[in-house]
Chain A
Amino acid sequence: MGRTLFEKIWDSHVVDRQPDGTCLLYIDRHLVHEVTSPQAFEGLRSTGRRVRRLDATLAVPDHNVPTSDRKLGIAEPTSRLQVETLERNCEEFGVELFGVTDQRQGIVHIIGPEQGFTLPGMTIVCGDSHTSTHGAFGSLAFGIGTSEVEHVLATQTLLQRMPKTMRITVDGELGFGVTAKDVILAIIGKIGTAGGTGHVIEYAGSVIRGLSMEGRMTICNMSIEAGARAGLIAPDETTFAYVKGRPMAPKAGAWEQAVAYWRSLPSDPDARYDTEIVLHGQTLEPQVTWGTSPQDVVGITGTVPDPRAADAEDRRRSISRSLEYMGLEAGMPMSEIAIDKVFIGSCTNGRIEDLRAVAKLVEGKKIASRVEAMIVPGSGLVKYQAEEEGLDKIFIDAGFDWREAGCSMCLGMNPDKLKPGERCASTSNRNFEGRQGPGGRTHLLSPAMAAAAALNGHLTDVRDLA
């Protein structure tokens, strides 16, 4: 029987198989950031161990980094200590670091692909659940805990049980104004946040094949919100074209050899999956969340759900609680919800293509006067590229705040936070209670939809702006 892309990658990384089926898996790339690594380095230090593969390890601070002027440093003492600790650890162990003032600094899941550190066919880990992003290249990429970070630093391997496989096929094509973000939100709405539990998801079908690498990363990024261990997409010409020429990508002779290998990775036609799901591209409209879980999602032409219409008592209660937290009335049209803030950025939607989509919509216009809107590029290089293209001028003229790279308002660990009760249209990935700051209310949507909301001051169907 044929093998899936996931099985091919798994099989080629087994170092040892224990009698109970647990595998010691070789790890090709390890990304490190400041929040989940200090205790791991401390562990190495106390046991006198070293980092096994410096060339396979890359570190960057992102979660705690302020997005204001870099020269001012980090004011908050615990954030500063965590970032300085990363710097000291990298220095001591010899790990390559893109420091706070390095132009290559950015969100860990943006810089890996950008540098060509992320390549097809690899196993990639990071102490962060959104490591699934890197699966867009046809690699097996997943988040790990801090003890596992230490395990990988010391041994370049991990003990793992083989997950199940799921294929999600999105066929047909996407309508005007519908993007990768809408596809993944619709998938999560369909299968739920526990739908992918215990599985690795492979995304397939004409819609997925038609996406750029940026779009594919958006999809794989939110696999974790669908409960999956990882998400991946078969590498193809789009992948190779993106990777070619990146600073850490294979050069000259090695390139041909690498591409020949990568071409052997896609799932065999007779490969089997434990679970199969199919969505039709034409049926999708721009999506937006109304509640406090990523599965609480509807099309922009829809309304806020009525808890009384739910079929089970605990679902009724959870919808009511979400609506109360979100300050929404059942039956209200989504497009009438007024917003206070707009956040465009994060490892889900902080890449150049996302910024171009926003610029296209807001060029020559002004955002609504009641709205404060910020755009945070995913990395220093995304920022540089956007400025080369003159996008920063478009944003500033339209009334956006143009920031330095980092996780920013995706989570409340740095100065960019919502105030209690503030409502935000956000291109990030989690709308949990308090995720963007205590009491803050989050509506997840695509960059184009966020731009439309910024212009009108309320959630808006981007298709009406064309």
Chain B
Amino acid sequence: MQPFTKLTGVAAPLPLVNVDTDKIIPAKWLKTIKRTGLGIAAFETLRYETDGSEKPDFVLNREPYRHAEILIAGANFGCGSSREHAPWALLDFGIRCVIAPSFADIFFNNCFKNGILPIVLPQEQIDLLMQEATEADDPTFTVDLEAKEIIRPRGNAPLPFDVDAFSRDCLLQGLDDIGLTLAKSTKIDGFESQQRTGQPWLYRAVA
């Protein structure tokens, strides 16, 4: 996983609530066997007409937001189906940070596992950032995970944010969850040998 330390990029305002994972990536795209390549289909129904042409009004079709790396959105972002294709689609589009008042559980976790930083901020601060991202001539923000703050355009004071220590560590170092767990192999081995004695029927003979 690519480490996340400091991200400087354009922030796109998406003032919608309850953006579900179907909106982020529709079901027909679930037939892929890869993690990559979903960027073109991110937000498909919001982004394209039925004939495949771009909807000129949609924020990610406009300059400079076509190159957005940060997304500012409304409450309950990422609700619905558990598909990890949703964070994959965002990542493939180029988005590495989503800022919203709240997120759905599974989506929130899936973000960290893919090197995307989800930031929760109170609604008033979201409104403020949304406004800056909409109005600034250059809506470029810097998200500094080390310092836990968002550096804003027009020289406005940085906004602090919170993130749990373990997830932050993993992102900063680009640590792979699986690698971390495998470092606990002896504990897993120990658990298994104890369980095998107590509940032998859980272990099947396989060819």
Question: Interface of A with B (CB < 8 Å)?
Answer: 15-16, 18, 20, 22, 24, 26, 28, 35-36, 38-39, 42-43, 47, 49, 54-56, 64, 78-79, 81-82, 85, 96, 119, 121-122, 127-129, 143-148, 150-151, 154-157, 159, 197-198, 248, 250, 254-255, 257-258, 261, 411-413, 432, 434
Known: A42-B33, A121-B199; 19 extra A-B contacts, CB below 8 A, are A20-B165, A39-B33, A39-B84, A78-B32, A81-B33, A82-B33, A96-B206, A119-B201, A143-B82, A144-B82, A145-B82, A147-B113, A154-B181, A155-B178, A157-B181, A159-B181, A198-B105, A257-B201, A413-B31
B52 within 8 A of A: no
The distance in angstroms between the C-alpha atoms of A382 and B59, with both chains bound, is 50
Cα–Cα distance between A128 and B33 once the two chains are bound (Å): 16
What are 21 A-B interface contacts by the 8 Å CB criterion? A15-B184, A24-B184, A26-B195, A35-B31, A38-B33, A39-B33, A43-B178, A47-B176, A49-B178, A56-B202, A56-B204, A82-B33, A121-B199, A147-B110, A147-B113, A148-B113, A156-B188, A255-B201, A258-B199, A413-B27, A413-B30
The residue from A20, A64, A119 contacting B31, defined by CB atoms under 8 A apart? A64
Restricting to B72-114, which residues have a CB under 8 Å from any CB of A?
81-84, 88, 105-106, 109-110, 113-114
Query: How far, in Å, is A230 (CB) from chain B's closest CB?
Result: 13
C-alpha gap A129/B107 in the complex (Å)? 13
Main secondary structure of the interface of B (DSSP, over half): helix
Are A248 and B191 CB-contacts (below 8 A) given A39-B33, A39-B35, A146-B84?
no
CB of B88 to closest CB in A, whole Å: 8
Q: When chains A and B are docked, how far (Å) is the Cα of A45 from the Cα of B168? A: 27
Q: Assess the A54–B181 pair: CB atoms within 8 A.
A: no
List A contacts of B22 (CB < 8 A). 432
- Chain B: CB-nearest residue to A18: B166
Alpha-carbon gap, A79 to B184, bound state (A): 38
Contact of B191 with A26 in the complex, beta carbons under 8 Å: yes
B164 at the interface (CB under 8 A from A): yes
> Which of B34, B84, B109, B114 is in CB contact (< 8 Å) with A36?
B84
Restricting to B108-162, which residues have a CB under 8 Å from any CB of A?
109-110, 113-114
Q: Quick check: A55 and B188 within 8 Å, CB to CB? A: no
A171 to B206, CA, bound (A): 43
Number of B residues whose C-beta is below 8 Å from A?
A: 42
Chain A CB within 8 A of B49 CB: no
- Complex Cα distance, B32 from A42, in Å, reads 12
**Chain A residues near B105 (CB, 8 Å)?**
197-198
Question: Which residues of B (7-46) have their CB < 8 Å from a CB of A?
Answer: 22, 27-28, 30-35
Question: In the bound complex, do residue B33 and residue A129 qualify as a contact, i.e. CB atoms below 8 Å apart?
Answer: no
Q: Which 10 A-B pairs give the minimum distances between C-beta atoms? A: A250-B201, A38-B33, A147-B113, A55-B204, A78-B31, A145-B84, A146-B84, A254-B201, A55-B206, A155-B181
CA distance A103 to B155 in the complex (A): 67
Residues of A within 8 A of B206 (CB): 54-55, 96
Instruction: For the complex, give the distance between the alpha carbons of A151 and B114 in Å.
Output: 13
**Are B34 and A38 in contact, with the CB atoms below 8 A?**
yes
The complex places the Cα of A143 from the Cα of B110 at a distance, in Å, of 13
One of B106, B164, B188, B203 near A155 (C-beta < 8 A): B188
In the assembly, what is the distance between CA of A198 and CA of B106, in Å?
A: 11
A15, A43, A411, A412, most chain B CB atoms within 10 A: A15
Residues of B close to A127: CB separation below 8 A? 82
Using Cβ atoms and an 8 Å threshold, which residues of chain A touch B81? 129
Distance A411 CA – B82 CA, assembled complex (angstroms): 15
